[in-house]
Amino acid sequence: MVLLGSAFPAGSASPAGQNRHGFEMSEADRYLADSAAYVRSLDPCGFLTEDDLSALGTVVQLRPDGELSSCSAEVNPGRSDATDSVSIKLNGYQPTPADPNFEQVTIGDEQVYLDDASRGTCRVSFPLRDEFDGATSGPMDDVLTESGRSFATIDVYRAEGDACSAAKSVTETALGLVSDPPLRADSRYNLPLATKDPCSVLEHLPETWTVDRWNPAADPYGCHFEASSATFEDNLVLLDVALTYDDSDLRSTDREKIRQGGYTVETRDSDSVCSADIVLGNPVLGLPGNDDSAARYARTVPELSVMADDCDSAVALAVAAADELTG
């Protein structure tokens, strides 16, 4: 991690001149934070249009999937009960130009990356915003701003037929929407907490905690930082906040449930780290969801997961983060 500024007591006001969670931000930092906020504002399912999907078959299901920045569609082409799939992830990374699996091609007026190395599948990656053109302080800034450009990734799987022709068509439509993109606030899948910055919890931690290190990341639904307190056994903890969708049918059973701060917190302890999870809000239902298997997996719920060096810290942070994200 990169130390961006002086440590500050959690819960205190940001000192003058410090402009995000008590830390100074460089141009590169601000670019990363702005990219993450931009992705949080978008509706990933809005990029998969009815026209593109219906051209591939009957839509069995369209739903948010896994990460809050992802959406997937299951399509029945009519040849059998088997389904093809189309998915989009707005939190992708720019492929490495030297990667032999990717070919740079032009779709519309945009240079994109195409990967058709696997039979029946095709992936297209394209940028959602302009490249960073500000000052950087070293190679790490260059790497971070490249990954933080907010690349979208479209994946198509077809049991039969040309997956890449479908992927190119979906990508062309998506590129046409970038200038006036579908917004989460206007979506039938709107989830208000998904527009919030998980790092905002930094300003609402227990007053005895001091945040020592934090740096913006390209991940719009993750926050990683270090904090210290005289009450910590080792005086320093690494904290990791993540917001995602969780399928209750696939949850592990080795969890301990406790009640704290009005929440049911599930903890999983190991020798080196403790995870604390809180399910937030109601299930997000897929449409039309008339297939039993598809409907079951569509009923995912947004879940807050926190990792820390000990369970007391993980639970305290999970409760503080849940209050901030749902307040």
- Which CATH number fits the domain that encloses residue 67? 2.60.120
State whether 258 and 278 are in the same domain: yes
What separation in angstroms does the CA of 299 have from each of 61, 102, 114, 185, 241? 12, 34, 32, 20, 23
State whether 150 and 172 are in the same domain: yes
State whether 173 and 208 are in the same domain: no
Q: Using the structure block, give the residue that is written with the tokens 């006001």.
A: 13
Structure tokens of 263? 């929440």
State whether 244 and 159 are in the same domain: no
Indicate the pLDDT class of residue 141, thresholds 50, 70 and 90: low
pLDDT in tens, 252-310: 667 788 999 999 999 988 877 888 999 887 766 655 544 555 555 555 678 888 888 88
Write down the pLDDT at residue 14: 42
What separation in angstroms does the CA of 152 have from each of 5, 106, 202, 219, 231? 31, 15, 28, 13, 43
Residue 36 lies in a domain: no
Write down the pLDDT at residue 140: 59
State whether 166 and 94 are in the same domain: yes
State whether 122 and 236 are in the same domain: no
State whether 20 and 53 are in the same domain: no
Residue 39 lies in a domain: no
Residue 161 has pLDDT above 50, yes or no: yes
Indicate the pLDDT class of residue 85, thresholds 50, 70 and 90: very high
Residue 312 has pLDDT above 90, yes or no: no
Structure tokens of 167? 């992927």
pLDDT in tens, 222-247: 888 888 777 766 666 677 888 887 76
Identify the domain boundary among 128, 148, 182.
182
Residue 73 lies in a domain: yes
State whether 241 and 195 are in the same domain: yes
Question: What is the total count of domains within the chain?
Answer: 2
Residue 176 lies in a domain: yes
Identify the domain boundary among 182, 216, 234.
182
Write down the pLDDT at residue 226: 84
Indicate the pLDDT class of residue 27, thresholds 50, 70 and 90: confident
State whether 314 and 210 are in the same domain: yes
| Coil, helix or strand at residue 144 | helix
* Distance in angstroms (rounded) separating the CA atoms of residues 176 and 229: 50
Residue 283 lies in a domain: yes
Residue 158 lies in a domain: yes
State whether 48 and 178 are in the same domain: yes
State whether 20 and 110 are in the same domain: no
DSSP E strand boundaries for 173-325: 210-214, 222-228, 237-246, 256-260, 263-269, 274-279, 287-288, 301-308
Identify the domain boundary among 127, 156, 182.
182
Residue 31 lies in a domain: no
State whether 138 and 215 are in the same domain: no
Domain containing 95 equals 44-182
Write down the pLDDT at residue 216: 78
Residue 209 lies in a domain: yes
